[in-house]
Chain A
Amino acid sequence: MAQEDQELLSRMANGDQSALDEFYRQYEGRVYRFIRSKLNDSFDAADVLNEVMFEVWRSAGRFEGRSAVSTWVLGIAHHKAIDRIRRRKPGESVELDPELAEDETPNPAETLSAAQNAEQVRTCVDQLSEAHRSVVHLAFFEDLPYGEIASIVGCPEGTVKTRMFHAKKALMKCLAGLKEMGLL
């Protein structure tokens, strides 16, 4: 697969649009889902997906093979999505306060039943900061190793691990809160 992806990029670099079609069909769903997890807005996500694929088309010749093609594409998606978030008005997204999330983390066994409720998990994931949501998505939806996630989001491996740690604590606290309110 990796070899085939690189061949697609080589063909794209030579202006072969059928290679772009193939590449798009292969990656579009995955890239869209990643962007959507960061932006929480389907219109913006479709827009950013278009920007990402456009960038892939323009930069295909510059791919050096130092990472997997999927890592490279998701990295572009990460940066494009961050650009979009920065252009949004401040205060548009409501994110869980990390300070609050750190306070008195519930016991994992107590929040397990809450974590089995899809709707509540989604509610809590949506409240995470963009950085935490990205790591959760890449680790749990894409099943990527922490090293690859670090390449995608452009930070040290230690930061990826810490973000995941804080995300987990925030999710546990949120789920426990919903349980306490009788929403589960």
Chain B
Amino acid sequence: MIPIIILTVILTIVSFVFDKKKTKKAVKKGMMMFVKILPTLLSVIIVVSVVLYLVSDELLIEYLGKEAGLGAYVSAAVIGSISIIPGFIAYPLAGILLKTGVSFSVLSVFITTLKMVGILTIPIEAKFFGYRTAIIRNSLSFVGAILVGGTMALIYYYI
């Protein structure tokens, strides 16, 4: 994140040197967009925070672990699609799951749905592209994620 912040600061300064008026307009425009999206963003973050609490590590191990059998794949896809877990939490978590015996196959379904499908972020996406597009995109991504996860599950241990 830090490189982006530095880049933005430098670009803003350069832009300001070249054209004060344009830069002010740019910053104002960006901030307006931010303020407009803020209420939706906050409510999504609130819902995600609560969901994240309910989906504890123990719960994940129970549903994704060896005992869960084929059901583990279904749980992985469902949990992955609903939650948005930022990478810095998701990967250490995936590391823990791996150590407790969750297979790479199940993890690949979990990680791909987690990354490609965001049911909880649909309200934010819809603010920019409309609900229909957001829902269709997420549904297609779900199918895509299942294909990726499924393929990974089939070939991971053979190559």
A binds B: no
- Report A's interface with B, CB cutoff 8 A: none
Interfacial residues, chain B to chain A (CB-CB below 8 A) = none
